[in-house]
Amino acid sequence: MERKTTYITKEQTDRQMALCAEISAFWQSQDITPLAYVETYGCQQNEADSERIRGMLVECGYSICQQAEGADVVVMNTCAIREHAEQRVFGNLGALTHTKRRHARQKIFVCGCMMGEPTVSARIQKSYPHVDGVFSTHHLWEFPAILHRVLFIGKRTFFVEDQAGSIAEGIPVVRSNHLKAWVSIMYGCNNFCSYCIVPYVRGRERSRKPEAILAECRELIAQGYKDITLLGQNVNSYGKDLDCGVDFSDLLSQIAQLPGDFLLRFMTSHPRDAGPKLFDTMAKYPKIAKQLHLPFQSGNDRVLKAMNRHYDRAQYLSLVTYARTVMPELVLTSDVIVGFPGETEEEFADTLSLIETVGYDALFTFIFSPRPGTPAAKMDDPTPKADKNRRFDALCALQNKISESRHQAYIGKRLRVLIDGQEDKLLTARTEGGRLVRLEGAPSLIGQFEEVVITGATTWSLVGTRIEKGGENNG
Ligand code: SAH
Ligand code: SF4
Ligand code: F3S
């Protein structure tokens, strides 16, 4: 079925802003500053969406608070990627009956990827009567209309119809961090990896126009943001739906040439669409962080085929070799699934050997979780849970050993880091590759790029000493 992207018009978003103004005026007339709490599950894409939800809530006169207790609006932005994620949402949603009982004015909304599953929204409609409104990711931009209807008409409101997918520009945003910003460059996914629910719940791949992305990045840099991460489920296929002659590498190089002191990152890359042009672009521009998240999922060709990943082990390894040839300092991370249906011990051993061969800086490890409606959920899966858990533990143990030795290798190195916060009297910073560094120093350094020398390492973080500008080592 041909499904076209709809661009939400300026009139449509202006209408939403007018509804925000009405809601805000209502609270003002009551002399109340209402509170709103947004809880986010899942990936950075959801974090970025939550920042827009908070933006719309602030536009409606709400102050953002940090807990459901006492909040006038609670929004749960959900994730459907694994069964466990869904169970957590249902558990926490149940608990909101109590916060609502203690604060009768509380309105509860549920949105995000789970609401793209018709069975889930139906379950909420039937069994969670304390939920006032539900909307899928396609309807995020219409949240003011949903809130308006719930507040003023008093009707439970469900905006969950499956849509081809839309792109709305100009939604207000309240960012959670003053130094680091997410910029969604595309929505949805066309890959249909056989285990994954994302294409079903987030719809077809659609790209924002390059002008809109560049304008957002320019604004962020002007506001003092130092670390910009471009987001998409498969950033390497950016622009394919636009026909404007700008692919992801072109977009990256345009942003990397903007004036200002910032680092540019992106995620996620799909090995099927990543290639030399991308890696050459990364290598060329100092403002592009030499960091790559390149999920491999499995080291075995049969499993990769069953996963519908469209690359094999050899192709993946040659991509990594190319990337490291042009960027020797590259920090490489990945995702892997253990216990895909029918995965044998030998096939799992291929995954371990790939991890050993590549030597990732960090790995995000998952046990296969069947998602209803995906092809993998219907595949035969004879491996007992205990075996999967054992494989998972073996994989984590191997990666911890590798992470620790890669961290140890940083000792003595001089690196540029962005000081981004303070924790237990020490400053925290991130290397260009995204590694966490702890160091001593004044809080006034937060927000600055500084040179450090690494003096210690654990599996999870590095310890550093700041080098005073001018080259003298202060420690
Ligand atoms: N778009 C990204 C990742 C999306 S989800 C990509 O293609 O890489 C993040 C990770 O969750 C995936 O990379 C995969 O490793 C894991 N994942 C997705 N579906 C899963 C499932 N059904 N069971 C277990 N892990 C899953
Ligand atoms: Fe899911 Fe695959 Fe799309 Fe990633 S590329 S979101 S794993 S279908
Ligand atoms: Fe979860 Fe949706 Fe992200 S399913 S991982 S929040 S795209």
pLDDT, tens digit, 9 for 90 and up, residues 204-247: 999 999 999 999 999 999 999 999 999 999 999 999 999 889 99
Q: What is the pLDDT of residues 79-109, one digit of tens each?
A: 999 999 999 999 999 999 999 999 999 999 9
Distance CA 332, CA 276 (A): 16
Q: Is the CB of 233 under 6 A from ligand 2?
A: yes
Distance CA 466, CA 449 (A): 11
Task: Indicate the pLDDT class of residue 5, thresholds 50, 70 and 90.
Answer: confident
Distance from Cα 197 to the centre of ligand 3, integer Å: 9
What CA–CA distances, in Å, run from 191 to 164, 197, 202, 273, 351? 16, 11, 12, 11, 22
Residues β-bridged to residue 453: 414, 465
Kindly state the DSSP code that residue 468 receives in the 8-state scheme: P
Distance CA 225, CA 180 (A): 6
Closest CA to 180 of 120, 264, 239: 264
Q: Are strands 63-64 and 35-40 parallel, antiparallel or unpaired?
A: parallel
- Nearest-atom number in ligand 3 for the CA of 41 is 6
Tell me how long the chain is: 475
Q: What is residue 458's predicted lDDT score, i.e. its pLDDT?
A: 86
Distance CA 469, CA 56 (A): 42
- Nearest-atom number in ligand 2 for the CA of 335 is 7
Which secondary structure element, helix H or strand E, spans residue 16, and what is its range? helix 10-29
Q: Is the CB of 274 under 6 A from ligand 2?
A: no
What CA–CA distances, in Å, run from 131 to 90, 106, 107, 119, 451? 12, 10, 7, 16, 50
Distance from Cα 316 to the centre of ligand 1, integer Å: 17
Kindly state the DSSP code that residue 135 receives in the 8-state scheme: E
Task: Indicate the pLDDT class of residue 470, thresholds 50, 70 and 90.
Answer: low
Distance CA 446, CA 373 (A): 46
Q: What is residue 114's predicted lDDT score, i.e. its pLDDT?
A: 97
Mutate to test the pocket of ligand 3, among 40, 47, 79 (most ligand atoms within 8 A of CB): 79
pLDDT above 90 as % of the chain: 93
Q: What is residue 59's predicted lDDT score, i.e. its pLDDT?
A: 98
Residue nearest to atom 2 of ligand 2 (CA): 193
- Nearest-atom number in ligand 1 for the CA of 191 is 7
Q: Is the CB of 191 under 6 A from ligand 2?
A: yes
DSSP SS3 for 185: coil
Distance from Cα 189 to the centre of ligand 2, integer Å: 6
Closest CA to 139 of 243, 6, 260: 6
Residue nearest to atom 1 of ligand 3 (CA): 79
Q: Is the CB of 234 under 6 A from ligand 2?
A: yes
- Nearest-atom number in ligand 2 for the CA of 199 is 8
Give me the chain's average pLDDT, please: 95
CB-based contacts of 405, cutoff 8 Å, min separation 6: none
pLDDT exceeds 80 at position 471: no
Closest CA to 227 of 289, 300, 149, 275: 289
Q: Is the CB of 36 under 6 A from ligand 2?
A: no
Q: What is the pLDDT of residues 284-340, one digit of tens each?
A: 999 999 999 999 999 999 999 999 999 999 999 999 999 999 999 999 999 999 999
CB 434 within 8 A of CB 265: yes
- Report residue 35: phi and psi, to 5°: -110, 145
Distance from Cα 309 to the centre of ligand 2, integer Å: 9
Ligand closest to CA 267: 1
Closest CA to 330 of 295, 359, 299, 365: 359
Mutate to test the pocket of ligand 1, among 81, 201, 294 (most ligand atoms within 8 A of CB): 81
Distance CA 63, CA 10 (A): 26
Closest CA to 307 of 295, 323, 319: 295
Q: What is the pLDDT of residues 114-162, one digit of tens each?
A: 999 999 999 999 999 999 999 999 999 999 999 999 999 999 999 998 7
Write out the two tokens for 141: 């931009």
Q: Is the CB of 267 under 6 A from ligand 3?
A: no
Question: Strands, DSSP E only, in 246-307?
Answer: 263-267, 291-293
Q: Is the CB of 366 under 6 A from ligand 1?
A: yes
Mutate to test the pocket of ligand 3, among 81, 83, 204, 205 (most ligand atoms within 8 A of CB): 81
Residue 45: HSE in the Cβ half-sphere, 13 Å Cα cutoff: 24
Report, as an integer, the average pLDDT of 171-186: 96
Q: Is the CB of 79 under 6 A from ligand 3?
A: yes
Which secondary structure element, helix H or strand E, spans residue 186, and what is its range? strand 186-187
What CA–CA distances, in Å, run from 20 to 58, 183, 226? 9, 23, 31
How far, in whole angstroms, is CA 356 from its chain's centroid? 27
Distance from Cα 270 to the centre of ligand 1, integer Å: 11
Q: Are strands 426-431 and 414-423 parallel, antiparallel or unpaired?
A: antiparallel
Q: Is the CB of 330 under 6 A from ligand 3?
A: no
Start-to-end CA distance of the chain, whole Å, equals 64
- Nearest-atom number in ligand 3 for the CA of 113 is 2
What type of residue is 437? V
Residue nearest to atom 24 of ligand 1 (CA): 368
Q: Is the CB of 233 under 6 A from ligand 1?
A: yes
Mutate to test the pocket of ligand 1, among 191, 230, 335 (most ligand atoms within 8 A of CB): 335
Distance from Cα 298 to the centre of ligand 1, integer Å: 11
pLDDT exceeds 90 at position 460: no
**What b/e sequence results for 342-355 when a residue is b if at least 16 CB atoms lie within 10 Å of its CB, and e otherwise?**
ebeeebbebbbebb
Report, as an integer, the average pLDDT of 390-398: 98
Closest CA to 448 of 227, 223, 217: 227
* Helical ranges in 359-460 per DSSP H: 385-408
Q: Is the CB of 149 under 6 A from ligand 1?
A: no
Residues β-bridged to residue 134: 110, 158
Q: Is the CB of 371 under 6 A from ligand 1?
A: yes
